[in-house]
Structure 1
Amino acid sequence: MYKIYPKTLFLGQKIQYLPSCQSTNDEAAALIAQNDPAEGTLVVTDNQTAGRGQRGNQWEAKAGQNLTVSLILKPSFLSANEQFWLNIAISLGIYDLLHPLVGDALRIKWPNDIYVYNRKLGGILIENTLHGYGLAWSIIGMGLNVNQTEFSYPTATSLQQETPLPNTYDVPGLLSRLCETLEQRYLQLRSGQRDQLKINYLQILYRYQEEQLFDSEGRYFRGIIIGVDETGRLAIAVDGQVRYFGFKEVSFVI
């Protein structure tokens, strides 16, 4: 059973703990369908058997070794075309948790991966429900590799691999602190501090203002990331022109 006591107003004050489930995002969606859960409710599991990542990928996590959680928010102050601001706030909240542990090698890889150098430490999957032109509910699924040290993918890493402890990391303790950093960034967004959030986001964006090889629908090209627009599209300077790409329209070639 998860018992955490975050110093927050609402985030993480209510928790549904499941020893095992297919997907914490699915369980959070079921909570929303069944009743009106409090904003900031968490769904936490030790063993997610069918976790999802972006682009339909499966999230690999060994039972009991990592942080697997979904957060329920009600960002009614955001319109449908502003939902990427939530992605920015959540990414920064995770960064604020991890940076003191792993240092300046930590980066946010667009659109929603957490990287240390060129290896993936965590991922985010945000699923929104609309009400008219605005957001009614947001389910923020987060997976962070904590104590796991063996992965099927050579590009994966964990806290224990990057900055090993003699024993292991305290996963509930990390979740408690994460609640605090996420709430700080979410309240910053809710109060309209978008300019500061955008500045912070670009400062830690993976490969920002560096020449990089990209793949768009099987076509390779070189370009430089120069920003992210209001709808979350990646802005890349290519041959003197700025091109914009959505979530599934471009990928990094590493």
Structure 2
Amino acid sequence: MPATPPPDAAALTADLVGAGSPWTSVTVLAATGSTNEDLSAAARRGAADGTILMTDNQTAGRGRLDRAWTTPPGVSVATSVLLRPVGVPVERWPWLSLMTGLGLVDGLRVATGLPVGLKWPNDVLVADRKLCGLLAERVETPTGPAVILGFGINVSMDRDELPVDTATSLRLEGAQVDKTALMSEVLRALAAAYSLWREAPDQLAVRYAERCVTIGRHVRVQLTDAEITGTAVGIDPAGGLRVETPEGVRTFSAGDVVHLRRVPDQIKDR
């Protein structure tokens, strides 16, 4: 698929930066290795709270567990935001990752009309295919700890350009979007989710659960030394996944989750 024009930094700045917004600047790079690494370095040099960095040509991206995330130029958007959440207890920081997933889902629903949902903890899905993922990283800086929230959205990839065969793109799901308009809606929704995280964490948890398609599903939780199968029944106050197993309800704060579907005499992945 031919690349589409990159996001417009000036238009995004005019739309997103201002009174009442957590965003303070928007920079769009023609290309870079990793927006997360670039912004982490900038944070350690004193970059401001609310700095946004994005590109539609990221050459060395990575996801959870240091997995590589690469795409052809011009067919996706990689974005990282810097937050310095002064005054919020560190015990609530694990929710930042889930909060980002909520913002992505809300923004994508508005921008595309697609029935987007969340697989715990923060994979964004359409019909069980991954549309985007994210990575939250704590960074120690001279003025205190900060967090980098990085996410990549598959915009206009063809099937043979997808990083894995279980992924999808907005174009493949029937949504033709302008990258500037898309990122404006996503970052506006992320700002709203961040406000809930800071001021109304209980409401954030309710909205996350409403959009989490893992709840109610039969799942397999893959840990480093075990696999646990059961039914996802909810999210605990710390953001962990509660799974009903034959031994009782267990809560997982980490692990790869696979959605399963039951068929006669066996369980198949979905």
Q: Which of the five TM-score ranges fits, normalised by the shorter chain?
A: 0.7 to 0.9
In structure 2, how many angstroms separate the alpha carbons of the residues matched to 1:114 and 1:59?
A: 15
TM-score (ref. length: structure 1): 0.87
Distance in 1 (CA, whole Å) between partners of 2:192 and 2:25 is 17
Task: Give the secondary structure class of the aligned counterpart of 1:111.
Answer: coil
Q: Name the counterpart of 1:138.
A: 147
Aligned to 1:176: 184
Quote the offset at 1:218 in angstroms. Answer: 6.0
Residue in 2 that maps onto 1:97: 107
The alignment partner of 1:182 has SS state of helix
For residue 196 of structure 1, what is the amino acid of its counterpart? Q
1: CA distance, partners of 2:163 / 2:77: 18
Conserved in 2, the CA contact under 8 Å of 1:124 and 1:142? yes
- CA separation in 2, counterparts of 1:211 and 1:57? 25
Task: Give the 4+ runs in structure 1 shifted more than 6 A.
Answer: none
Q: Distance in 2 between matches of 1:138 and 1:60?
A: 23
| Distance (whole Å) between structure 1 residues aligned to residue 77 and residue 41 of structure 2 | 21
- How large is the RMSD of aligned CA atoms in angstroms? 2.1
Aligned 8 A contact 1:80 1:130 in 2 = no
Shift in CA distance, 162/18, structure 1 to aligned 2, threshold 3 Å: same
- Residue 27 of structure 1 corresponds to which residue in structure 2? 38
TM-score, with structure 2 as normaliser:
0.82
Closer/same/farther in 2, CA of residues 231 and 129 from structure 1, 3 Å limit: farther
Matched, 1:86 2:96: yes
CA deviation profile, 1:82-132 (whole Å, cap 9, x unmatched): 21222232211111111232433x21111221011111000110001368x
Number of aligned residue pairs: give it. 244
Gaps of 5+ in 2: 1-7, 260-268
Partners of 1:82 and 1:230 within 8 A in 2: no
* Alpha-carbon shift at residue 156 of structure 1 (Å): 0.8
1:235, CA displacement in angstroms? 1.2
Q: Secondary structure at the match of 1:125?
A: strand
Aligned to 2:257: 251
Instruction: List aligned pairs for 1:101-250, cutoff 5 A.
Output: 101-104=112-115, 106-129=116-139, 136-149=145-158, 150-165=161-176, 169-191=177-199, 193-217=200-224, 219-239=226-246, 241-248=248-255, 250=256
Name the stretch that deviates more: 38-47 or 80-89.
Answer: 80-89
Task: Return closer, same or farther for 1:7/1:25 CA change in 2, 3 Å cut-off.
Answer: closer
Going from structure 1 to structure 2, the CA distance change for 1:152 and 1:82 (only over 3 Å counts) comes to closer
Query: 1:29, CA displacement in angstroms?
Result: 0.8
Q: 1:216, 1:34 → 2: CA distance?
A: 36
